[in-house]
Amino acid sequence: MPAEKVLFVCIGNAGRSQMAQAFAERAGFEARSAGSHAESHLHPEVVEVMRELGIDLSDRSPHQLNDDDVEWAELVVTMGCGDACPVLPGKRYVVHIMEADAYAEYSPFVHSGRYNLFGA
C-alpha cells in the first residue's frame, strides 16, 4: 500500500481537489486537499457524483490552503491554482493540466502525460 502523503490543491477546494483526495484515499494514500481561495461548501454535483461511486463527501467542507498543509505533504498536486500555491524546497510538485471541456471540473485524473498517480 502506498505510504506517500499527497496534497491536492485547486482554487476553491469544492470540486476536483476534494474528488482527487477521496480517490487517493480509496487507493491507500494519505491525502489532503485545500484551496487557494476556499469556497464555503462543496459543489452539490460533486457530492452527488461521488455518492454514485460509493464515496460519501457529505461531511466534508472546503479547506483554505496553508503552509502546514504543504509541509505535511510529500507530493503536491496543483490543479489550476497557479501562483497562489506555495512552493517549499524539498517537495515534489505535479502541475495537473486540466482539459478545457465541460467535464474538467469532475475528472481529476484525466491523464496529462506528466504523472500517473496510481500507476495505471
What one-letter code names the amino acid at 34?
A
Q: How many domains does the chain have?
A: 1
Instruction: Assess if residue 72 is contained within a domain.
Output: yes
CATH number at 32 reads: 3.40.50.2300
Answer yes or no: 85 catalytic: yes
In this prediction, residues 23-28 reach a mean pLDDT of 94
Reading phi first (left if > 0) and then psi (alpha if -120 to 50, else beta), residue 13 is in left
pTM of the predicted protein model: 0.77
Domain with 71 in it? 5-106
> What pLDDT digit, counting tens, does each position of 8-19 carry?
999 999 999 999
Pick the catalytic residue from 10, 57, 70, 77: 10
In this prediction, residues 26-53 reach a mean pLDDT of 95
Cα separation, 98 vs 78, whole angstroms: 10
pLDDT at 80: 78
CA distances from 9 to 25, 85, 88, 91, 95 (A): 15, 7, 14, 14, 10
Sign of CA dihedral 12, 14, 18, 20: negative
Q: Which three cell numbers stand for residue 113?
A: 502525460
Pick the catalytic residue from 11, 85, 96, 108: 85
> For residues 56 and 95, which has the higher predicted lDDT (pLDDT)?
56
Instruction: Assess if residue 112 is contained within a domain.
Output: no
Residues 6+ apart with CB under 8 A from 112: 96, 97
Q: Which residue has the cell 467542507?
A: 61
Instruction: Assess if residue 30 is contained within a domain.
Output: yes
Cα separation, 96 vs 64, whole angstroms: 19
Pick the catalytic residue from 24, 81, 105, 117: 81
Q: Which of 1-10, 34-43, 65-74, 107-116 has the lowest mean pLDDT?
A: 107-116
> What pLDDT digit, counting tens, does each position of 40-89 carry?
999 999 999 999 999 999 999 999 999 899 899 999 998 877 677 767 77
